[in-house]
Amino acid sequence: MAISTVLRILRARRVTEPAGPSSPNQTGPDELAGSLQLRHVDAGSCNGCELEIASAFGPVYDAERFGARLVASPRHADGLLVTGVVTRNMAMPLLKTLEATPRPRVVIAVGDCALTCGAFRGGYGVVGPVADVVPVDIEIPGCPPDPTAILEALRSVTRL
Ligand code: SF4
C-alpha cells in the first residue's frame, strides 16, 4: 500500500481520546492503578529498546512486582508499550492494535525513535514518531532507555 494511502487512512481514522491530564503526561488513568497489562508493539525498532524492556521485566528489575505485565493480545491489555519509529508497514497494524485495546487505556512510547524518530528520522520507510499515528500518554526518552526509566514510567501508572 502506498504511504500516501496509509497516511490518508490514518488521518481519517485518527483516534481521539477523552480529554485527560495535559499530554503527554507521566501518569495513566486512575482505573489502571495497581494492575497494568501491556501489549508490546515494535513499530520499527532496532531491538535495543526491546533488550531493555526484557531487562525491566526480567528477574533483576522484575516489573511484575509493581503490577505491570506483558500480555499477548491487545484485547487483554490496558495499554500499549510502543518501541521504534513507526514504519510504513507498521503504521496500520499499530493503529489497529490500539483500536483493539479496550478503554481506559494508556499508550507508552519507549525510546528516542518512538518519541522523535531518533537516528531514523528522514528514512524512506519512516512514517513518523508514534504520536503521529496514535495518541501518546507517557514518554520514556533514551536510546535506549535504562530499565529503571521504564520501571519508573510503569510505576507512574500502577502507583505501586
Ligand atoms: S531509541 Fe535507540 S535503542 Fe531504541 S529503537 Fe531507537 S535506535 Fe534502537
Q: 86-87 and 68-70 as β-strands: parallel, antiparallel, unpaired?
A: unpaired
What is the Cα–Cα distance from 108 to 25, expressed in whole angstroms? Answer: 10
Centre of ligand 1 from the C-alpha of residue 31, in Å: 30
Q: What is the pLDDT of residue 29?
A: 84
Domain 3-158, what architecture? Answer: 3-Layer(aba) Sandwich (3.40)
Residue showing cell 495518541: 135
Question: Is-contact 24 136, C-beta < 8 A?
Answer: yes
Ligand 1 touching residue 84 (CB < 6 A): yes
What is the Cα–Cα distance from 101 to 59, expressed in whole angstroms? Answer: 28
Centre of ligand 1 from the C-alpha of residue 99, in Å: 25
Question: Is-contact 36 67, C-beta < 8 A?
Answer: yes
Ligand 1 touching residue 74 (CB < 6 A): no
Question: Is-contact 155 114, C-beta < 8 A?
Answer: no
pLDDT tops 80 at residue 128: yes
**pLDDT tens profile 46-100:** 999 999 999 999 999 999 999 999 999 999 999 999 999 999 999 999 999 999 9
CA-nearest residue, atom 2 of ligand 1:
143
Question: Would you list the domain boundaries of the chain?
Answer: 3-158
Ligand 1 touching residue 111 (CB < 6 A): yes
